[in-house]
Every structure is written in C-alpha cells, then in structure tokens.
Chains A and B, each alone.
Chain A
Amino acid sequence: MSKLSELAVIVEYGKLREVEAAVAAALDEGNAPIDVLNVGLVDPINVLGEKFRLGEIFVPELLIASRCMKTGVEKVRPMLSGGDVKSLGRAICATVAGDMHDIGKNLVALLMGSAGFEVVDIGMDVEPEAVVEALRENPDTKIIGLSALLTTTMYSMKDTIEALEEAGLRDRVKVMVGGAPVNQKFADQIGADGYATNATSAVDLAKKLVGVSG
C-alpha cells in the first residue's frame, strides 16, 4: 500500500497517535501536499460521513477520524497555498438563552466542522445580543445555527432573529434552527431560513443554504 493510502486508512480508523508520522511518510514518498490533504485526510472523512448517514458506523468513529484529519491538516498547512484548504464558510452555533441543552448543538457543530465549515461554537444559554456580538466579531459568517430543546426556550430563537434584524445584520446571514420541540412550522413562523431534525440533515441544510451541493 502506498503511504498516501496508508494515511487515509489511519484517518479512517481514527488512529490519532499515528497521524503525524503518516503525514510525514506520505510527504516523504513524494506526494504533493495538496494530494496529502485531499486524498489522505479529507476523502476518508467524506466516506465516514456517508457511512454515518446510513447508520453503518457510530458517531465517535466519525468524530475521532475528524480529529485525525485536523491534526493532519495542521501538519501539511505550512506547505499549502492559501486557497488549498477549502472551507465551506464560517458558521456560528449556539444554544439559545435560557436553555442548557448543548449536546445536540455540539453534534451539529462537530459534524458541520467535519464537513468543512469553520464553526465558531459560542456555547449554551446565549443571549440574543451575544449572538449579534459574535456575528460582529466574525463578519465573514455565512450561517448561524440555533438550538433549543425546551418548549419554554424556543421563543428565544425568535428573539435572536429579531435582534439580528434590529442590528441590521439579518440579511448578511442564513439562520437555521433545530432541537426537539422545534418543527418546520415554527421555523417558518419565526422567519428562520431552515429547519432540520438531526445533525446529518443539519449539515445538508447548511450546505444548501450557503449554496454548495451536498
């Protein structure tokens, strides 16, 4: 097996401790850094992402492999030129004010990250003003993902969207919403751009909203 394929296997199997050496070996073998990135690091994640969608693997398999990918990317990054590391764009994820449920939001953020978004996770119980603030700090943000798990906090999503409007920033970003009590009807009512029921479909939705096909 070539060192490049070996790297892809190491990433796919989530062997964190072996990634750096495998990246070095693949480069030593004479592979271009861009191939190491795409074939050795990114492709295996795409394969796993698809397997996860089909229910063939468990989420930690995907997430640990993503950690491998990130470690590998850091190693090759100095050898790449600016445009080589493709990003689907910046995203902000938050659980809205009053709500302490963050696992669903974390999963959405993690899967978006492994799909190629640059995710800024601003935590849970996030006030509308703090979302606006985060957007000001990250003006290149394309999409905001809001999560709520309570019938009593889902209206904070509405407040957040209104705060974006008041700040004059609403048109600059897409807003998608999710969480157990939320549904499409509610998403439409509060003027969100999209709703998804789970993390995998959240990634698809995000891609659609920023205009890249899944």
Chain B
Amino acid sequence: MDRSDFNNVQKCGSPLLFLTREEMELVHSGALQVLREVGSDIQHEGAREMLRKVGCGVKGKRVFMPEGLVEWAARQAPSHIHVYDRDGNIAMDLGGRNVYYGTGSDCPTILDVYTGEHRPFTYKDMEDGAKITDALPQLDFLMCCGLMYDYPVTSYEHQYAVMLRNSTKPQVVTAANRESISNITKMAIAVRGSLEELSKRPLFIMYNEPTSPLNHTFDAVDKLIYCAENQLPTNYSPCMMTGATGPITNAGGLIQADAECLAGLVIHQLARPGAPIVFGGAMYNMDLKCMQPTYCSPESIVNNIALAQIGRDLYHVPTWGFTGCSGGKVFDAQAMNESAQYVFAVGFGGVNLNHDVGFMNYGLTFSYEMLVAANETISQMRRVFDGVVFDRSHMAIDIIKKVGPKGHYLSEEHTLEYNAEMWLPDLTDRADLEKWERDGRTTFEQRVKARAIDIIENYKPKPLTPEQDAAVDEILRLADAAAEKK
C-alpha cells in the first residue's frame, strides 16, 4: 500500500542525537588538527595546484590544509539539495532531518530469487532490480544493486541506461572515472534536455569516496571536480573499516572520517563554491576474525548517525547514510533483524540519503527479497516517525466525553475517519490463526519471495520516449566503441 505521503519529515519530539554540541566540536577540532598537521594525500595534480594557490602546504602529494580554509569551504556548501524524478517532479528535499531510503550498488553477486543460490550479477538482474525499486513505494531512489559481469569495462554506463529505462525514480550513480560519469551525465541530459536543466533539476547524485586512511585517488578527486564544475550533486563518503583503515574506536573513526569528508569538501568547494554536496559516510569496524567489514554492526550505526549529525548541525549540509543491509548470507531472520534495525536507526537519527537497502554478505551479495521486505519495514517506520498529532480532533476529548465509562469506540465516526491514518500491513500477517491456515499457512519469507517474483514477471515501468531511448543507445554505442579502442 502506498503511504509515502504520510511523511518524509519526521516529527519525533526528541530525535536521536548521539553527540552534544561540545562533542561535535571535539570531532571537528580533531579533524582540523589532522588536516593541518598530518595532511591528506591528494593524487590529483590539478587539485594540489588549486590547494597550493589558496595557502595549503604541499609536499609531494601530501597537502596540509589550514583551518580557516576548511571552515570557509564548509560555509559555502548549500544546506539543501532538491532532487527530481525522471518526469521532472520534485522527489527528495535533502537537508534538515528529512529521511530517504534507496538501494545499494555494485554487488558482484546476487541471491537468486528463484533458486536461492549466490551467483554473478548480470544485465537481467539489473533490469529486475530497477523494476522492483520502481515498484516499491517506500524506496525513494535507486542505485545499481550489482555490477554486471556482462560489461566489464562500460558496466557503469549500461547500468545507468537500465536504471533510466526501468524507473522514473532519481538515482545515486557510481562511476569509474570522469569519462564514465560524463557518459552518465549525457544520458541524463537526454532526458532533461540540457545540462542547465539537469543541474537545475538534478536527476542523479553521484556516489564518490575517499580511500581511508586520508588518501584521495585521482579518479575520486577528478569526479568531485567534474560534479562541482557542472553543478551536479555528489557525495564523498568514506568506507572506513575501523580497525583496518581507521582507528577502531568510535571517536577516532569519526575524527578521521570527518577529516576525509572535509578534505573532499574543500576541493569540491574550491572547484566551484556553492556546488551541492552530501556529507557523511561509514565507519564500520572490520570483524577481526572473518576480516570483513561489518556494515551494520551497532558501532557502525552509531558512527554513521553521529557523523551525519555533525554534517547537519555543525556544517549545515545534507547528509549521507547506510541502511537496510545485513552480513547474513540468505534472506532469513538475521537479515531482517539487521536490516530493520538500521532502517529504524537512520530514520530516527534524521539522516537524509540512506543507501544500501538490499545488501547482504557485507556488500558482496544483493537480495531482492531483502528489498521487498525493507519496503514493508520502511513503511512501518515512517508511520512511527509521524509521532503524535495534536489538534482538537486528534485529541478527541469530545469523543472521550461522549463515549464515557464502559462505552466503546467501534461504532463512532471518529474511529472510521481516523482509521484511515492507521498503518496497514501489506506483507505482514495479522490474520487470526484460522484465516492464516485457510490462506495457505505462508511465512513472511514466502510472501516476500512471491511479491519479488510478481514484480519481476509482471511489472511494467513507464518507458522513455522513443527519442530519449535512441539518444541513450547512441551514447552507449559511443562509450562501447571508445572502450573497444582502448
């Protein structure tokens, strides 16, 4: 059931805040110290030159940023980013405590809905993923779910084409380098009409990341600059595995991650002051026995929300989050438990742009069942975030007086009227035992699987116009030809 109109702005009286003002300042000050004293490795000559000119110390590839420059950059970035769907309607207002959910990207394998096996992710899987995300009302944006084995070089371009063709929702896109992000931009322009229109009503946000600890690769920096120059929104999210690529403690992880985000922010704002950027990222500890990133450990959840709090309340920029993921290998109770905890936490924490719904096996496997199930979780959580409405009619004192002691509310018009506000289950079972048995004794897992299959086989997304479609094909053809040449 579509209840997406219920909220997006949560109304909790006392939202989740992990840090006091003083603690946010401690992280910020620690990050400034790291940026000035330790410095950052910037593997991009143009960026180093730009930084040198504004007073940074540069020694080889190491760049030392003065505090004032960092704080200047934080003040330039806008506090809200408005993102529009394929049809040009406003879809997300990133900023404040607004909460949006979307899929993850680039998994090498998929948990096959039909057979339950883990197998390489393919073109067809990408089509299914885009359709499912389009069909699920609680998912606000889509990422590419997996990286297709069928297109080893131009997979980012082909993935984008599939997303564009199978969903009207806005996207968060991954790209290898400037070339692939500019090909993706061309396809989005084919929809919007011009670059100007696209930057006025962005259809995608680019996903980008530093290489913890404190390293910024050529491609990452180059993509940041590309987005800034073209006024296209991007994020810059560390994927820090604390204990391996960052300090294992929450406070230490936060300080290093803040320093990495801020270094990106400085480069981005120097390239074009005021360009839109989303702040925040992950500090998930590495499990030091299995040596994989934990993604959804309790510590990761705290770190993610705390860094977003710093972004929102200290720097006043839109924030980036993780959600709806699991370390589990199949769609089971562990997967549901981990996914639901994270959905609730980022919602309650007021993080804006939350990705990775559908991730299993620490980002190595994507599951469409997880996605369908998370839609139900998000829907419930959004109702929770509505909190309590206080107006005369909702306070219902008149009805309480009317019904009085020993009466009941079942035949009151007030009950019927406001029942429309109650959350209604879609795949969640609330039947009595007899009806549940009559209906086939299904488990939640079975209903989720059936829904996923139903969407894959029957859902018809709104197509692109023939002109847009042809333009996308031409861009792909040129990209493939260029790749072939290399």
Contact = CB atoms under 8 A, between A and B. Distances in A.
B182 interface: no
A181 B108 contact: yes
B241 A151 contact: no
A151 B291 contact: no
B147 A59 contact: no
Contact of B153 (A100, A152, A198): A152
A13 interface: no
B4 interface: no
A107 B241 CA distance: 14
Contacts of A199: 291
A28 B108 CA distance: 56
Main secondary structure of the interface of B (DSSP, over half): loop
Main secondary structure of the interface of A (DSSP, over half): loop
Interface in B138-166: 147-149, 152-153, 155
A107 B211 contact: no
Contacts of A52: 289
Given A59-B289, A151-B147, A152-B147, A103 B244 contact: yes
What range describes how many residues of B lie at the interface? Answer: 20 to 34
Contacts of B290: 55
A180 B291 contact: no
A58 B290 CA distance: 9
Nearest to A107: B291
Nearest to B220: A100
Nearest to A149: B108
Given A152-B153, A152-B176, A198 B291 contact: yes
A103 B244 CA distance: 7
A60 interface: yes
Contacts of B155: 151-152
B422 interface: no
B245 A60 contact: no
A58 B147 contact: no
Contacts of A60: 243, 288
A55 B217 CA distance: 34
| 4 nearest CB pairs, A to B | A58-B288, A181-B108, A151-B147, A59-B288
8 contacts: A52-B289, A55-B290, A59-B289, A100-B217, A103-B286, A104-B291, A180-B108, A198-B291
